[in-house]
Structure formats: C-alpha cells, structure tokens
Structure 1
C-alpha cells in the first residue's frame, strides 16, 4: 500500500556502512565450505563454525495464514541441551543477513540460533505491521520452529531474543507475551513509539520519512502506511498514539516485570530515530535484571562494526549478557559470579562520555545521574543581543524572535550520517555567530571556571507567549569554545497547542539525555528557534515567540552535573 508523495523511488538504508556483499560472501562460505574469497580471519571463523554447527539458509518458518518467514539456522552439533537465540531482523531489506557474523559467534559459543526476516521485508511473506500482534506471533512461531529443529523442548536450554533496531522492539514485545523467553538484548531500540513519533506534541517528520524511505522495497500494510501518512500530514494524532502504544514495550513493562525478564539495552546519545529519553523511561520502569549502554553516535552506528565482524564493545556486552542469563551454571555460584565480574553486570549503566570516549560504569541510573544545578535565563544587556545564564534569577525582561525562519542551530546535518561522523571523531561544528538573533533567542554563560560533567536529563523551564494559538520551538544546548565554534550537547522540540495569543504560559521541557564533558573556559549556550528539518512545526508564519521570566516562575536551564 502506497500513498503519493511518501514513498521514494530509491531505497536508502538505516545501515549506510553495511557491506551486504561481504556478508553474502560469508553466507556462501558457510553454505559450501569454500572460504577462498574471504580474508584469513573471516575464513578461519567460518571454518571453525562449520566444525561445531550446522548452517542452513533458505529456511521457511510457517507463521499462519499462509505466511512464511525467510530464516537461517545455526544448530550446534555438540551434546545438549543448548540455549536458544532468536533474532528478528532490523528494518532493512537485507533481513536476517545483517546478523550473519554475530549468529556464527553465538553458535560457536554453544547456542542454537535462528535469525529471521520480519514479515513484509525481503523474502518473507505478509505485510509490515510495525511490531504489531502479527509480528509478536511471528516471533513465537520462529521460536517454536527453532525448538523443533533443535530436537524438541526436552533438548533445549534457556531462551533469548536479540534484535537490532526494528528487531529490538519485536524482541521486547515477544518477551512480554511469551513466558519461555528468559532474556532480551535490544540494540538501538524504542520503548515508547508514540513518544518517538510525537515528542512534546512535535512530530518527528525526518524520522518517519527515513523509516518510509528505508522500507521502500517492503510491503507495508494499509494501516501501517496510514499511520506514517498521518504523522506527516499532522492528522489523526490521538488515533496514531493508540496505534503506537500497542507497539510499545513500555506499555507492557508490567508483564516483563512479573517474570523479572533480564533486558539489555544499547543506545546512542544522539539517536534521531528513537530518542534516548523514551528508552530510558522503559529502562527505569523495569524491575528485573537490566543493563544500559550509552554510546557516541546515532541509530545502529555504535554496533555497526560488530555487524561487519570487527571488535565491538556493544556486541561483546550482548554476548556476556546472554552467557550470564542463558548458559547453565548448574548451581555453581562461583561460575555465576564470574559472569557478573567479567561482564560488569553488577553495574546497570555504562556510558561512553562525549567527547573523550571514557567509559563510566555506575550501579544504577540514579548513581549515574548528576545533581541538578540551575542556570537562570536573563535578558540581554543594553549593548548586546544575547541573554545570559546566571546562578541567580534576573526577572522582568523579555526576548522576542520571529517564527518561520531556520537558523544554523539544527539537530544534525543528516539523519544517521552525522552520527557516523561523530563515531569517527568528527562531530558537527556550529558557527554560533551565524545564528540570526532576529529568528532565535540565545542565552550564553560566562566561561566555565572548571570542567562541567553533564550526566542525565537536562530540563528547561521557560515562560513563553506566542503570537498565535499554535507554536513550535526547538531548544538546543551547545558547548561553545573561545572562538565561538560549538558542538551540540542535546536538544528537544516543544509545541504549544491552543494557547491564548500573547498570553504568557509556562513550559517544562525535558531535553534528551546526555553524557557530556564541557571543558573549563568553554561556555554553555542555549538557543531557541522555530524551525528544524527534523521536526514538523505548528507555527503560523509570520509570527513571534516571546520568552519572559516572571518573578514567581523564573525561567531556567537545569543541568545534571557530576
């Protein structure tokens, strides 16, 4: 099902650095044993896998109503029982192929593995339902198929589901509904799909367009296409939120908690498809064993080198998580404790800090979060355009800017690709002097006397008065050096609907979670403007937005500082 204007003629990938040909070559070598086209390390890996496991591709998993799912199997040859891993595919035409190298590695460690292509993609039948009830049923059918091929229930051990991106949401939802699932790994995932599509009443249009583009060769159900079209057209919002809630692990977290299912998350700080706060909300709602890795980059970027077969921290942790929760310890407390020690599993949160890349490990999210410190917004001086960020409120001022004009303050140059540049140590540089102060409000701190370590969710409290009933702005927090060059720390959009024009009203905004070190001598800069290509705005242009700071409710930026 397609709609005019929403499906492209090309098929951009959520995995821009994926070498599909190289993975296909590994599959061919697994199938035939001919490793002559592979490099020495990969050839040795394939040969070792073939010694300990039987590989089968072209597997068809019956999923009901005549639908079959394309799959591949790695069945360990040693004496069992063996634990099982089911891997639903990402939102990609390559389907299960993405998991080829990691599935081999799980198989060599003693697991039976089934990786399958989600319905509507690639060689699988059916239509894309975006982790709907049919996708949950497909995951259970894939598990049943793996149990059968592994010798039946008495011949298998504990069971895990692992997914990257799309497959991660499906994995969580299957675990919530299927009592046989003992552990989950969810990479670049979502917890609340509604919040990922509509953040603070603001539509994530770039994310939805990217998902549509990446699925241009897939078969979307009519309901799926309508949901995406509605987001882009700003129609049927409440109906879409209900649709999204049914597909959100956060809304089934009680079922995961009832069995204390261990869940491992890995997320990028600058995730543009499924922003971090909604995943963090799900993580914090879980009461069973859990672990959360934060990394530099954007969607699926931090785990990409592992998909390509290179050393990768995220995948190494995923293996340790399943070893800890799926491999049998036969009551050996010393062996179980070794898993804890080797994987750092006693700490729930590990953060890769921007931009020094240091890793910080903390026992809980609360322990990982800094102490809130307020920076109060002030009006500009008589001879200046920018307001300040001070330790005490200065009220009675106002700053007004026009809506409808974009400025150099943006989330990123390109969805996904800017994140890959960050991974390579090349974060986007912003020229703050080029931000038009007529189209943006800007507040800057004095040079910081010491390094400021931001750990957690910054919050912005402002009083605003739009000239129209509906208005959108985006808040950006920058780290600015002495020359005025900046890097983005975090941001968040905000839309007010049905306001009384020119009447002040308060807004409390959670910016996206961050782990960032600002050097001594640098400044913090808060920018508010009304247009960003990543978001759909509600502004009626031309219009204005006025920011004020009443005595009774001063405007401030609250930063979690360690």
Structure 2
C-alpha cells in the first residue's frame, strides 16, 4: 500500500452520531441520542433483537455485520446491505437499517471483505477485491446466513447498497435467484467506462479510491488494477478485470427474472459518472427507476444516513415496500426517471429516460462570436450559431491547465453545489492560447437542457495521440459561469496533421439556463481529474469542413 493521505468518501458524515446510535442499539441506553433517534431505538428494541454478528463469507472469511431480527414465526421480507467503500463499514447503515426493521423487515448489514475497523463495528477478514467473484459469493453467503438466523419464512429479499455496496448488490442480484429487488445508490453500471471514459483515464477517481482505502487491505490484483490505470499501462487487461465487476455485463441475468432495480446518481458525479449508469439502466427491461440529483458521489443521500429527511432514502424505502411487501404506494406507476434540476431544485418525473429529451437544438461551431452586447466575451472566441460556417480553423496549445476544470476538488465541490454554492468560473481568465472557446448569444427566455449533449467536430493533432476536455458553461452577463456538464476525450491513433472527425457525449444533465445567459463551449487539454495522452509542445486545431460541419447538439425538454 502506498503512503498517500487518507481521505473519506463520506466527509460530511457524522461519525459520532452513528457510533452512539449503534451503541444504543446494543445496550438500550438512549440517553446520548436526540429524541427522534432515541424513539427509533426504543421502538425497535421492543419488537426485535439487535446483535453484532460475524457473517461467514466465502472461503471461511468472517465479515463484520449487524442483524436486526424480528421475533416470532410470521413470514417477513428481508434486506441485505453491503457497506460502502469506507472504514465505517456497516455502521453507515445503522439508522436506515433500523427504519427498515421498524417497517417489518429482517435486516442484515455487513462490511465487505478487507474493510472495517474495530471502533466502527469490527473489521472483516479477507482482502478488497472491488466487487469481484469473492464479493459476490460473500453477498450470497450473507443472504443465506440471514435466512438461517430468522424464525419463520422469508417472503422476498432485497439488496441495498451505497457506492461500493451498490455494485455488490447488483452483482449478487444478477447471480442469486433469491433476490427480488435492488436499491443501488451512487452506483456504477460499467466500471470500465467509469475508469476509461472516452478512452480517458479517470486518474483522480482511482487516486481517491486508494486514499479512502488506506486502512483497508487491498488484494494484489486490486493494487495492480489501480496502479495500471495511474501508470497508463495494461489497458485491455484492466478493462477485462472491470468487465467482470460491471452489472452491465450481467444485465440479461437481471432481466431474466426480472429483478426490480432502483438507481440513484448525481448529475455531477465524478467517481462513477452518470452516463455509464444510465446505459445499464436503459438496458434493464424489468421494473426500474432512477433518481438524478444535484451534487457528487454519495452526497445527495448522505444526510439520510444519520436520519435526516432525505428524498433518495425515502424512495428506496418506497421501492422495497412496493416490490418486497406489495404496498400500492405509486412508485411503480409515477415514472421511471426523477430529475432534480439545477439550480432551481425542481423535481421532474418522466416516464422513462427516452422521454427526458423532447427536442434537439443543433448549434454550429463558427469562427466569429455571435452578435450580442459583448460583455464577458473575448476577441478570439468563436460562436455557436444556427447556421454552419466552414473553412475556419481554431488552434490551441496542449499541456497547460486553464480555469475550465471539472471541479475544484472531487466530492467537496459537489457538496457545495448541494448547499446552494456552485463553483463560479471566471471565463475571462481562460487563456485562449491554451483553449478554444465558442459562445451563443443570450437566451432571451432561457433554455431547459434535459439529456445528453453531443459534440461533433473535426480536428487535427500535431502528435499521434491527443486528449481534450470539453466543458459546457452557463455564462451570466458579467462573464461569470457555472458548469453545466463536461466530457473528456482521448484518441491514440492519429496520423499527425491529418483531420479526424469525432463524436463526444457529454455527461447527462438537467439544467435550466436563465434568461439572458449564454452557453459557452470550452476545449482544453489538461484537467486534474484525468490522465492525458498529449505530447509536450503540440497543438490541436479544430476546423469545420464544408461536407461535415462541426456542431453541438443540445437536448431540450
């Protein structure tokens, strides 16, 4: 293991409140809890037993866990909750597991192999395999253990996980016919795409995963996979490793029964970007739903982990209440897609992902900025216009970062977004020698972006490989901006100087552009979140051939 600084994927989580809540479940002493949490513990202990347990996993490995078990022989549904990528282990779920138990479920929460500390409910044996076959076998063994521990028949079963636990939950559901429903929060569908989006390495995501697992025990194969991403080697081998750990690989198994699958993700998710989860979601043919929110990884659901009101956890409860208990609560018929719109926080329900985008507006990249009042504009900026303009070129240097970045810091910038303080970008400070910029005129009545923007452009590179990052910004009249969405792109097989046409999907978005604001497209070549394939001293030149004009397709709804 390296000596990188330890960080947490849950920086806002109140460790003390969770520890005190679990202690009250063990002892019955609620003196240190708030009245609301004390009431939950008292009610739970009056109808069930709580115990910390050692769950027998695959190969004799013992997994730290906690069991909420009802007395009596009444048939009941059951839920298994594999913990996230954190030292807290099963403790993260203490409050929500208690709430499920109060509604009549047997519940088992456990810490996946290789994770956990004694002060947080115990350490699990084994090594971290990143949702590999051993983790799937552990999940199946945990379900068997739960069924064996309770009295009376188990009617239906569900798996719920946040982050790491969400991937394990989907994979167990695909391989175990006993699982009827899944709730996967801040999840992944295709781990390979999450690590290599548009052939671009997500180096900051991998660094964060390693830093957050400093106290865990990573297997040698896990260490190798992380090292290979960071060192830019063995790409095909890593993609095969990721394929085995991707729910998308097993979507036919999920559809075959079918399993009822609930997803929750953030528009600005930086660890597992939304598009790869949406691709899996849209491939599902059984009951499904996805909630998309403002923020970054695990941020939107974090408040619910300590018992505060939380829309995502409320929907997860409704999902299981309907699919495991048969309650007619409306979640099966009200729409498969729920989007929280930046920045007005309005909630929009749509029948399915295909109904999110109603029309597409095509804007062409031009050499000259469109007409307007000139504020916040630069003389080298091109335009985004309704009619094509061809024959122009826009050249910029590679190798220098600009203020057009994905975020200041993974997770933390998203948490600021949730608090109503999105990052402000100074578009004046983007050096046009290191970036290419195109802007629209002001939108008199604003615009409603809904779906996946797509960029088609032709460019040349002075070297055989290239990377650029495309950003879409919402720019106010004073030139300050907020990020709407972005996409990295890498090509490794150029003929230097020869034009190549490419299509780039931005990450999905639900964004309202205010009246009189403009959209800005920025291409640069360096971002701390990504590895780049640019050779020093090179340039990228964008153009727009007459027979294939460069353009941006904006999804509107």
Q: TM-score, with normalisation over the residues of structure 1?
A: 0.95
Q: How does 1:14-33 map to 2 (within 5 A)?
A: 14-33=9-28
Separation in 1, partners of 2:160, 2:246: 16
Q: Which residue in 1 is equivalent to 2:57?
A: 63
CA contact (8 A) 1:291 1:345 kept: no
What do the CA deviations read for 1:207-263 (whole angstroms, capped 9, x no partner)? 000000000111001000000000000000000000000000001000000111100
Q: Deviations over 1:9-33 (max 9, x none)?
A: 5320000011112101011111111
1:36 aligned residue (31, 38, 45): 31
Residue 353 of structure 2 is matched in structure 1 by 365
For the pair 1:91 / 2:68, whether they are aligned, the reply is no
Following the alignment from structure 2 to structure 1, what is the Cα–Cα distance between the partners of residues 198 and 469? 10
3-state DSSP of counterpart to 1:339: coil
Match of 2:149 in 1: 149
Q: How does 1:127-166 map to 2 (within 5 A)?
A: 127-151=127-151, 155-166=153-164
| Cα distance in 2 between the residues matched to 1:356 and 1:435 | 27
Matched, 1:167 2:165: yes
State the distance in 2 between where 1:214 and 1:549 align.
44
1:348 to 2:336 alignment: yes
Aligned to 2:463: 468
- Paired positions, count: 544
Shift of 1:91: 0.4
Instruction: Select which of 239, 242, 250 maps to 2:240.
Output: 242
Matches within 5 A, 1:224-303: 224-303=222-301
Distance apart, 1:346 and its partner CA? 3.3
Could you say which residue in structure 2 is the equivalent of 1:535? 530
> Per-residue displacement from partner, 1:500-547 (whole Å, max 9, x unpaired)?
111110010000000000012000000000000000000101110000
Assess if the C-alpha contact under 8 Å between 2:114 and 2:126 holds in 1.
yes
Q: What's the CA shift for 1:64?
A: 3.2
CA contact (8 A) 2:369 2:439 kept: no
- Cα distance between partner residues in 1 of 2:369 and 2:175: 59
Once the 2 structures are TM-superposed, how far is the Cα of residue 8 of structure 1 from its aligned partner?
3.2
Indicate whether 1:449 and 2:444 are aligned. yes
Q: Please report how far the alpha carbon of residue 345 of structure 1 lies from its aligned counterpart in structure 2 after TM superposition.
A: 4.0
Between the aligned partners of 1:434 and 1:528, the Cα distance in structure 2 is: 14
Deviation at 1:384, TM superposition (A): 2.2
Q: Tell me the distance in 2 between the aligned counterparts of 1:381 and 1:278.
A: 34
Show the 5 A alignment for 1:139-538. 139-151=139-151, 155-327=153-325, 329=326, 336=327, 338-340=328-330, 343=331, 345-380=333-368, 384-538=379-533
CA distance in 2, matches of 1:126, 1:374: 53
* Counterpart-to-counterpart distance in 1, 2:72 and 2:431: 67
1:476 Cα deviation from its structure 2 partner: 0.0
Hey, what's the Cα distance between the residues in 2 that align with 1:533 and 1:9?
17
> How far is 1:157 from its partner?
1.2
Q: Deviations over 1:422-465 (max 9, x none)?
A: 00000000010000000000000011122210110000001010
Q: 1:400 to 1:75 in 2, by over 3 A?
A: same
- CA shift for structure 1 position 78: 5.3
Q: Structure 2: which 5+ runs fail to align?
A: 117-122, 371-377
Question: Deviation of residue 344 (structure 1)?
Answer: 6.1
Q: Deviation of residue 79 (structure 1)?
A: 4.9
Contact 1:464–1:547 under 8 Å retained in 2 = yes
Structure-2 separation of matches of 1:76 and 1:305 = 27
Q: Residue in 2 aligned with 1:332?
A: none
CA RMSD of superposed structures (Å): 1.2
State the distance in 2 between where 1:184 and 1:541 align.
47
Q: Secondary structure at the match of 1:303?
A: helix
How far apart are the structure 2 equivalents of 1:367 and 1:155?
A: 41
Residue in 1 that maps onto 2:374: none
Cα gap change, 1:65/1:232 in structure 2, threshold over 3 Å: closer, same or farther? same
Aligned to 2:71: 77
Confirm or deny: 8 A CA contact 1:60 1:70 kept in the other structure: yes
Q: Which runs of 5+ in 1 are unaligned?
A: 330-335
Moved over 6 A (4+): none
The answer (yes or no) to whether the contact 2:334–2:349 under 8 Å persists in 1 is no
> Aligned equivalents of 2:306 and 2:247: distance in 1?
28
Contact persistence 1:465–1:547 (CA under 8 A): yes
For the 8 Å contact 1:370–1:456, the answer to whether it is kept is no
Report whether the alignment pairs 1:12 with 2:7: yes
Q: CA deviation at 1:275?
A: 0.2
> How far apart, CA to CA, are the structure 2 residues paired with 1:503 and 1:188?
41
Shift of 1:41: 1.3
Structure 1 residue aligned with 2:375 = none
